[in-house]
Structure 1
Amino acid sequence: MTTAVGVPIGQRLSDLAAADPHRLSVVVVRQDGGREALDRQQVEDGANRWGRALAARGLAAGDRVALLVHNSVELVLGALGAWKVGAVPVPVRWDLPAWERERVLAVVAARVVIDEGTAPALRAEAAAFPADPLPTVTSPHSFGICSSGSTGTPKVIVNTRPGRWTAELSTPFAENFGGPVTHPQVVLVPAPMYHTNGFMTLNSLLGGDRLVIMEKFDAVAAVDAIEREGVTTFTATPTMLQRLAAVPGIDGRDLSRVEWILQGAAMMPAALLRRWFELLAPEKVIMAYGMTEQLGLVAIRGDEWLTHPGSVGRGFRGTELRILDENQNPVPAGTYGDVYLRSPVTGAYDYLGGAPLLPTTPDGFGTAGDMGHLDEQGYLYLADRRVDMIITGGANVFPAEVEGALSEHPDIADVVVVGLSDPAWGRRIHAIVERRPGTTGPTEQECIEFVKARLASYKAPKTVEFVAELPRSAATKISRSALVAERGG
């Protein structure tokens, strides 16, 4: 029985299996087209076996286990097994270069590392252990998520809430908007599970939903899975949604069972958003703004966005918003400043590795460094991160705004805008463009004129570079600082 403070995650798995042992719980769609499926009892048994195998390698309550594997059964059972013994799972990017991997692992300080080398042996070891339920233990912290760049100390963001499940953690976003949600949900997981959007789908599993996990995102395979598995919801980045919308024949594919989708992790170009309104319906598309540090959440549904175009919404699930200047003083509606949030979960995080916590006000509002403004009705409009803002010729330009304009060009598949050193302008607005396959345009000048037709002329790029493919990670993230460094700063 769930209480106000929830139940330990390990116990929750046992309860699900006892209630409906043969209900399908996890499906992993492999890159080779194969499919591995587990029902609730198999998930429960596997978590107990993996917990015992990890304990045999020295993992104990309060320890951390690093998960450096692709989306897989091993990743899921490794995380659940860690919770079973009261440990803290920390997914880590599997594709880091060796030097960065070692830096990150030094900060994680994991007792056990599960990677592509150790996972097969652990799976074999787990199979030899009994599957009966382990004693109930609560992890002191729910999980960790890594956030590391090419320079500086890697950050490992630890959710400091105990590893206990509550129904609130599994409540679908759509239910907060009054939309129809069929339970159990069938949740597609296109994102790598080292990313927050991917890993947090384990809350849906704990809520009784079925996860359809892609080993690696591929747009065509994702559409196939949506049709074949009866997917009802998924969370995706704008880049993923762009690739899904570009699948040949997408208008004729069966998306009828998709009840709602959630977009996060980056700003959504208006043209792409309207395309998804056509593919689904405005009331089935939800956008959210938040951060792994859990300062708060902002959300908006598509039909509401149509009356507030460009907004990412209002405070969600108890989140309060303020826009403050560099001295933490409030600014008037319509004025850009730093976005500060406060919610019931504000402060439920810590950093390993000695990184300072995010700036906060004396009364508990925190900021991740994003800039934006509020309108008179309290709707938030994001600009970009303060650190990404380009000062060119004395004027402030937000890269996301320029990227949004360029992304509306029908022959542009992807674009990133950075500021490069320039003797005349201080920083020169430079667009790095990936053309849509099969096209030869636009030219550099056409890109510049395209932006000038939509934004103030000083926001248009001074130079445009064309590349075969932008270097996005599996989570579709990109490092602006690395792109700038590669081009001379």
Structure 2
Amino acid sequence: MSTVVNSEREDHQQPSHPSTLGAWLLGQHDPTRPAIVIDGKTKTFGELISKVNQLSNKFASLGLRKGDVAAGLLSNGAEYYEIALACMQSGLYFVPINTHLAAPEVEYIVRDSEASVLVVHAELADKVVGRVEDAVPHRVVIGSAPANWSSYESFTDVSDDTPATRSLGSLMMYTSGTTGRPKGVRRPLSDATPESSLESGVQHLSKLGIPPGTPGRHLVCSPVYHAAPGGNSLFLLHAGHTLYILPGFNAEAVLRAIGESAITSTHMVPTHFQRLLDLPADLRDSADVSSLQAILHAGAPCPPATKYAMIDWVGPILWEYLGSTEGQVCACSSAEWLEHPGTVGRPNPDAVVLRTLDGEQATPGEEGTIYFKSSPFEYLGDPEKSAAARWGEFATSGDVGRIDDDGYLYVLDRRADLILSGGVNIYPAEVEGALLGHPGVADVGVIGVSDPEWGQKVVAVVQLAPGFSDDDGLRVALDQHVREQIAGFKRPREYIFVDEFPRSAAGKVSRKKLRELADDQ
């Protein structure tokens, strides 16, 4: 794995933060400022915004109008930010697609979003070529393009003048629904300027130990198609920080990049923490992490022992936050967490409330569904789910928690059945549906079981069909079958075989009994 570094730390000195806010304005007023560094090559804000304007002008020439959709199946790279920034100043929705999804899952999102433009990296093209040509009029490949697809270079070979008309667009992230089918979280668009939304992003960063007006170097080591690493790095780009982009997470490469590039911030999930802590002690002890000012983390519960070890190593610079595609809830500094272990922060009581099952506001210490003030949104094509997620000006993603007497919030469950593994949401219904397609499976239930590295691992409780027996060959066959249906990271890591499957008289799976079966193993 190549590491994005320059060897001389003094080369990382940056000019003072300009008065302008937003990557577009930085491209005009501070064009030589480094924006993105990848594989040792620097792209300045001027170069970045030149490509952004080319994309925006291309979208306009194709007749795309406010509210149309551009989707991207993209590896970590500058193109994610180019397309996102172009959509955000063109009144378009940008849909980043998880690159680990299986081809049918990618095709579903492309079709469901009604994308007018699809941009993919060449190494991912086999997931869409031959599948979406009838649905997407404009198809672009970064790299060698097949027939009936445009190359990214030719697609963007247009004027880089600032577009005559600019209006605020939006990301439209896909999040799984209760049936396992992803749903696009779509917010209404306005005629506001692209810069009008940036102040809230700066405020968000200031709550995570990154005050406005301070230049920095942010290491992107997680997939940018995820809302957290993609969204936070985009905010930091708008604030004038330089992004150092790695293709993915490799503990040694990350540690090396932090020291050699004098990284000031990064975003991780607890699994990343554990992989760093698992490195040889002499390697960690010799690493220079003195430049780090803030490590952001979210996406999965962090085991207390892991968090204590990280703080002991890098200092009290870990900033945890609770949020989802639907909105942000609260943030927590290391100092607060050390005083209140397990908390995710102290939310504004006017902005976050807990409601019990009977709809009453939960009292301190009482469990309740977490509701937070959120800008309007809808789940694309699912009005019932959209209505269920709202309560006046409040919204929920279904998380359950409690608030203590001091006002600190603790998350008790990440939705009723949701599995969080390595910071990624996995829905049991989707995995169960894939397994039920195998002739050897008569019935199945999927649960998440605590795992020291991943937070949770996927476990399947299976009742076998007649004529099939529990053996290693069947486990291999089931694993291969699931890999062909859904993304590999969703597959069960463990199978438990039972003679009688625990369903209620109403036909519902008793997940409590499934967990009891797993505990007995």
Q: Does 1:22 align with 2:32?
A: yes
Distance 1:127 1:174 in 2: 32
Q: Letter of the 2:354 partner, please give it.
A: I
Tell whether the 8 Å contact from 1:169 to 1:203 is kept in structure 2 after alignment.
Answer: no
Tell whether the 8 Å contact from 1:297 to 1:319 is kept in structure 2 after alignment.
Answer: no
Q: Does 1:143 align with 2:168?
A: no
Distance 2:22 2:210 in 1: 27
- Which deviates the most, 50-59 or 170-179? 170-179
Change (3 A) 1:15 1:62: same
Tell whether the 8 Å contact from 1:358 to 1:368 is kept in structure 2 after alignment.
Answer: no
Shift of 1:244: 2.4
SS of the counterpart of 1:272?
helix
Q: Does 1:168 align with 2:204?
A: no
Change (3 A) 1:300 1:319: farther
Shift of 1:301: 0.7
Cross-structure match for 1:462: none
Shift of 1:182: 7.1
Cross-structure match for 1:76: 81
Q: Once superposed, what is the RMSD of the aligned Cα atoms?
A: 3.4
Distance 1:297 1:214 in 2: 29
Deviations along 1:156-191, one digit per CA (max 9) or x if unpaired, are 112435473344234265634777777212111222
Q: Does 1:262 align with 2:296?
A: yes
Q: Letter of the 2:44 partner, please give it.
A: D
Shift of 1:129: 1.9
Distance 1:325 1:362 in 2: 13
Q: Which residue of 403, 413, 418 corresponds with 1:384?
A: 413
Q: Which residue of 284, 290, 307 corresponds with 2:339?
A: 307
Distance 2:218 2:314 in 1: 16
Q: Letter of the 1:354 partner, please give it.
A: D
Tell whether the 8 Å contact from 1:322 to 1:341 is kept in structure 2 after alignment.
Answer: yes
Q: Which residue of 103, 106, 114 corresponds with 1:98?
A: 103
SS of the counterpart of 2:66?
coil
Q: Letter of the 1:99 partner, please give it.
A: P
Change (3 A) 1:66 1:142: same
Tell whether the 8 Å contact from 2:462 to 2:497 is kept in structure 1 after alignment.
Answer: no
Change (3 A) 1:158 1:36: farther
Change (3 A) 1:146 1:272: same
Larger RCO of the pair (alpha carbons < 8 Å, separation 6+) = 2
Distance 1:157 1:302 in 2: 31
Q: Which residue of 119, 124, 132 corresponds with 2:142?
A: 119
Q: Which residue of 263, 283, 292 corresponds with 1:231?
A: 263
Change (3 A) 1:341 1:79: closer
Shift of 1:304: 1.2
Shift of 1:40: 0.9
SS of the counterpart of 2:184?
strand
Distance 1:323 1:127 in 2: 48
Q: Which residue of 327, 345, 364 corresponds with 1:333?
A: 364
Shift of 1:15: 1.9
Q: Which residue of 285, 288, 307 corresponds with 2:321?
A: 288
Tell whether the 8 Å contact from 2:459 to 2:496 is kept in structure 1 after alignment.
Answer: no
Q: Does 1:155 align with 2:183?
A: yes
Distance 1:225 1:487 in 2: 45
- Which deviates the most, 62-71 or 125-134? 125-134
Change (3 A) 1:80 1:330: closer
Distance 1:320 1:161 in 2: 23
Q: Does 1:189 align with 2:220?
A: yes
Deviations along 1:34-61, one digit per CA (max 9) or x if unpaired, are 3332101101111112223444555333
Q: Letter of the 2:35 partner, please give it.
A: S
SS of the counterpart of 1:416?
strand
Shift of 1:240: 1.7
Q: Does 1:131 align with 2:160?
A: yes
Q: Letter of the 2:109 partner, please give it.
A: V
Distance 1:44 1:185 in 2: 19
Deviations along 1:401-459, one digit per CA (max 9) or x if unpaired, are x73xx63xxxxx44525676599xxxxxxxxxxxxxxxxxxxxxxxxxxxxxxxxxxxx
SS of the counterpart of 1:348?
coil
Distance 2:495 2:120 in 1: 30
Distance 1:258 1:11 in 2: 23
Change (3 A) 1:154 1:487: farther
Shift of 1:197: 1.0
Tell whether the 8 Å contact from 1:185 to 1:210 is kept in structure 2 after alignment.
Answer: yes
Tell whether the 8 Å contact from 2:23 to 2:239 is kept in structure 1 after alignment.
Answer: no
Distance 1:41 1:135 in 2: 18
Deviations along 1:58-79, one digit per CA (max 9) or x if unpaired, are 5333211001111112222122
Change (3 A) 1:161 1:199: farther
Deviations along 1:101-144, one digit per CA (max 9) or x if unpaired, are 111111111100001242234431155322222213103x4111
SS of the counterpart of 2:172?
strand
Shift of 1:11: 10
Change (3 A) 1:75 1:177: closer
Distance 1:59 1:485 in 2: 48
TM (norm. structure 2) is 0.69
Cross-structure match for 2:443: none
Q: Does 1:109 align with 2:142?
A: no
Change (3 A) 1:252 1:161: farther
Cross-structure match for 1:435: none
Q: Letter of the 1:18 partner, please give it.
A: Q
Cross-structure match for 2:456: 416
Distance 1:113 1:131 in 2: 21
- Which deviates the most, 50-59 or 239-248? 50-59
Shift of 1:26: 1.1
Tell whether the 8 Å contact from 2:69 to 2:113 is kept in structure 1 after alignment.
Answer: yes
Shift of 1:319: 5.9
Distance 1:349 1:207 in 2: 26
Tell whether the 8 Å contact from 1:191 to 1:197 is kept in structure 2 after alignment.
Answer: no
Cross-structure match for 2:17: none
Cross-structure match for 1:324: 355
Deviations along 1:354-409, one digit per CA (max 9) or x if unpaired, are 2612635754333211112111111111111342389xxxxxxxx88x73xx63xx
Tell whether the 8 Å contact from 1:180 to 1:259 is kept in structure 2 after alignment.
Answer: no
Change (3 A) 1:415 1:145: closer
SS of the counterpart of 2:330?
strand
Shift of 1:233: 0.7
Distance 1:188 1:325 in 2: 40
Cross-structure match for 1:440: none
Q: Does 1:347 align with 2:380?
A: no
- Which deviates the most, 147-156 or 124-133? 147-156
TM (norm. structure 1) is 0.73
Distance 2:203 2:219 in 1: 13
Deviations along 1:65-100, one digit per CA (max 9) or x if unpaired, are 001111112222122233343322111112321211
Distance 1:250 1:113 in 2: 42
Cross-structure match for 1:219: 251
Change (3 A) 1:14 1:119: same
